[in-house]
Structures are given as structure tokens and as C-alpha cells.
């Protein structure tokens, strides 16, 4: 894989990842110079003990443009996009409308607040999976998926070494129903300056479990699901995919490496190869569930960059808001206000259905 780094007109970094070592790109951005994005603001919610990101500049971000105005397509004569090259394999670049960014703090127009506040420094990257605007992840070749896994690992490693980044989050949102604002096949990578509530809570659970039993919470949960077998969708030499027993979403999968590792860079070549094939298989099954492309979130859970790494276990969480043909699950009163999920579909039913949808 050939890696080429350059700068866009406003100073943001762009990195080309090419499957051919001979690939060369036009890396000069012909657009007029512009100031880099400003950092956002963090405000601390004392009731939930969580940071909330205030990023008012994102209100004006690009929203569902026509295909001939997509900012993630390669540039062409007379039309300059976020990617100066005329073609590419995989590209990562700093988001033009980041939730978090290292830069100048926002102009303070707020009166004194009753809660702690901080500059929202961090890093938000866009990761384009392919130059083809009409493709989806499930349409990619195993080789391209393997390249993307390598890029996830590369960016995790780089951001983990960035001062101020406490956690790296790689994810993809697909589908208008999920809330995507660009249809081009892409994902995102966040470098948070704090531990996210989900990570903090699961690691606290893992620590208490270790103190109580001496065991590994994630490994024991995986072992219990494999032993039960009822919710396992597929197991390969290196990975296990299952519907969790307490699934919150009508369609939900967790995909674990059979060997405990902390993060994506720790995966071996064999584990990366195996995942590339397994993941395409799972995405294909999901799209066949309702005979239409499934809106989903695919989220990698990794160890924090500097603390509690011995408690973490890398895994992928994949879920959808679609509960039946033409029907979506919305977060209503119990879920949105109280955080108590009500699932209309039994996890065992979902697992059985996905097993039956093997190609």
C-alpha cells in the first residue's frame, strides 16, 4: 500500500492510500487559500458527568447534494472537490466541518456558564472508501476492504500518538434514515480529547467484573455466546459474529476477534484478511433481510490511547433502525428520555434470520 500525504488549500491534511505502489496523484489543491476550521467548544453536563460538543459551524455543512456536486468524488476539469486527484483508491482527510479540531477556539459570545467548559480540540477525518459515487461498502472487493482495514489501523495508530487524543473511533453511517448527509461511500474517524460515555461505562463494568471474578468481561461474554450458539450468526477461524442477548436495536450484531486484542493496529495479517471476507458476508445478509439496502451504523470499539488498555477488547458493533419493511425504530420516551430501550424483535429471531440469509 502506497501512502501519500498532502495539504488542502486551507491547510487540512489529506492522505492517499493506494493499492498500487506505482500510483501517483495530483496533490496540489487549486482552490483559493482559506483559513482552517476553528475548534468547537466542550461543555460538561454535571448531571450525567459527560462532555457535550458545541459545534455551531456544522449547521452550514453540505447536506445531501446532487451526485454531480458531491464533494467526495474525484476532482475533474472545471470542478474541484475535497479531493484534488482525478482518481483514488482510499483517501482520508480532515473534515471541513469538524465536530473537533485543533485550532483557534471559537469566539466567546456566551455569558458565564454554570458548568465547566473547554476548547473542543481533537481530530475528525473523513475516510472515502472508493471513487465510485454510487458504490456502497457491500459492493467493494475483499482487497479493497482489506485496504480499508489497514487504513483504519494506520489512522488509529497515528491519532493515538497525537497529544490530547484520548480515544480513536472509526465508524460508518449508511442510509438517509440513519442521518447521512453525503451518499458517497465513506466513513469517519474521530480523535476524542476525552473518553466517550460508552467507553467509560463499559470499561468501568469490565474493571468491576475483573475485581469480582478475576475474569475478562468481554472474553467471557463472547465465550458464553459461542457456547450457547443460539445467537451466533457466523464463526470463522479468527472472528465470531453474534446478536447480543440484550440487543437494543431490532437488527444488531457484534463482531469480535477470537483472540483478544486492544485495537485495530494489533490485528495480524491473517485476522485482517479473514475479517474482510466475513464483513462482506455479513453486510450482504443484512441487505437481504428486507430486500433493500439496510441503513446502519458500523462502529469500532477500541482501547483508549493511554489508559485502561488492559481492560479493553476490540470489537465491531453494527446496528440498524429498520425493524420491518417500511418501518423504522425511533427513540421514543423511554429510550430518548430515560435510556431504557424496548426492542420489538427478539435477538434469537434476528440471529436465526441472518443465518438463513447466507449466500
pLDDT in tens, 184-211: 999 999 999 999 999 999 999 999 999 9
DSSP-derived letter for residue 282 is H
* DSSP secondary structure of 16-35: EEESSTT--------SPP-P
Q: Which three cell numbers stand for residue 354?
A: 441472518
Residue 299: what are its φ and ψ, rounded to 5°? -130, 125
For residues 169 and 156, the answer to whether their CB atoms sit within 8 Å is no
Closest CA to 350 of 249, 278, 280: 249
CA–CA dist 224, 210 (Å, integer)? 16
Helices (H), 101-141: none
CA–CA dist 154, 127 (Å, integer)? 12
Closest CA to 74 of 121, 26, 122: 26
Strands (E) located in 129-235: 167-174, 186-192, 232-235
Q: Domains, the chain, ranges and CATH?
A: 2-195 (3.30.428.10), 198-356 (3.30.428.10)
pLDDT at 9: 95
Is position 25 annotated in a ligand binding site?
no
> What pTM value is reported for the model?
0.95
For residues 52 and 42, the answer to whether their CB atoms sit within 8 Å is yes
186 catalytic residue (yes or no): yes
- 105-135 residue pLDDT tens: 666 656 788 888 888 999 999 999 999 999 9
Helices (H), 229-268: none
For residues 37 and 57, the answer to whether their CB atoms sit within 8 Å is yes
Residue ranges in the chain whose pLDDT is less than 50? none
Candidates 25, 183, 186, 301; catalytic one: 186
pLDDT at 117: 87
pLDDT at 104: 72
CA–CA dist 126, 146 (Å, integer)? 18
For residues 42 and 117, the answer to whether their CB atoms sit within 8 Å is yes
CA–CA dist 240, 270 (Å, integer)? 15
Q: Which three cell numbers stand for residue 190?
A: 474521530
Is position 124 annotated in a ligand binding site?
no
CA–CA dist 34, 27 (Å, integer)? 17
3-class DSSP state for residue 133? coil
pLDDT at 59: 87
Q: Which three cell numbers stand for residue 208?
A: 468491576
Sign (positive or negative) of CA dihedral 215, 217, 222, 227: positive
Q: Which three cell numbers stand for residue 9?
A: 488549500
pLDDT at 103: 77
Amino acid at each position: 500500500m502506497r501512502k501519500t500525504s498532502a495539504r488542502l488549500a486551507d491547510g487540512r491534511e489529506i492522505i492517499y492510500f493506494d493499492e498500487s505502489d506505482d500510483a501517483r496523484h495530483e496533490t496540489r489543491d487549486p482552490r483559493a487559500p482559506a483559513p482552517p476550521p476553528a475548534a468547537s467548544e466542550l461543555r460538561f453536563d454535571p448531571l450525567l458527568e459527560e462532555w457535550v460538543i458545541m459545534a455551531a459551524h456544522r449547521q452550514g455543512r453540505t447536506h445531501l447534494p446532487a451526485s454531480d456536486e458531491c464533494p467526495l468524488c474525484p476532482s475533474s476539469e472545471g470542478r474541484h472537490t475535497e479531493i484534488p486527484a482525478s482518481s483514488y483508491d482510499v483517501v482520508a482527510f480532515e473534515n471541513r466541518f469538524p465536530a473537533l479540531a485543533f485550532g483557534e477556539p471559537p469566539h466567546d459570545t456566551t455569558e458565564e456558564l454554570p458548568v465547566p467548559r473547554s476548547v473542543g480540540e481533537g481530530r475528525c477525518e473523513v475516510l472515502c472508501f472508493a471513487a465510485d459515487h454510487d458504490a456502497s461498502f457491500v459492493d467493494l472487493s475483499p482487497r479493497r476492504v482489506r485496504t480499508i482495514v489497514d487504513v483504519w489501523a494506520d489512522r488509529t495508530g497515528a491519532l493515538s500518538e497525537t497529544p490530547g487524543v484520548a480515544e480513536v473511533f472509526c465508524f460508518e453511517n449508511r442510509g438517509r434514515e440513519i442521518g447521512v448527509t453525503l451518499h458517497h461511500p465513506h466513513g469517519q474517524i474521530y480523535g476524542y480529547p476525552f473518553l466517550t460515555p460508552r467507553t467509560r461505562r463499559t470499561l468501568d463494568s469490565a474493571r468491576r467484573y475483573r475485581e469480582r471474578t478475576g475474569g475478562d468481561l468481554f472474553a467471557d461474554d463472547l465465550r458464553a455466546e459461542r457456547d450457547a450458539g443460539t445467537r451466533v450468526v457466523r464463526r470463522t477461524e479468527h472472528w465470531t459474529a453474534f446478536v447480543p442477548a440484550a440487543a437494543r436495536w431490532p437488527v444488531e450484531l457484534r463482531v469480535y476477534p477470537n483472540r483478544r486484542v486492544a485495537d485495530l493496529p494489533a490485528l495480524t495479517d491473517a485476522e485482517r484478511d479473514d475479517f474482510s471476507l466475513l464483513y462482506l458476508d455479513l453486510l450482504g445478509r443484512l441487505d437481504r433481510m428486507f430486500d433493500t439496502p439496510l441503513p446502519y451504523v458500523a462502529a469500532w470499539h477500541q482501547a483508549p490511547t493511554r489508559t485502561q488498555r488492559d481492560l479493553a477488547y476490540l470489537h465491531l458493533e453494527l446496528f440498524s433502525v429498520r425493524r420491518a419493511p417500511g418501518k423504522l425504530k425511533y427513540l421514543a420516551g423511554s429510550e430518548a428520555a430515560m435510556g431504557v430501550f424496548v426492542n420489538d424483535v427478539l435477538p434469537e429471531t434476528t440471529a436465526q434470520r441472518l443465518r438463513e440469509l447466507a449466500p
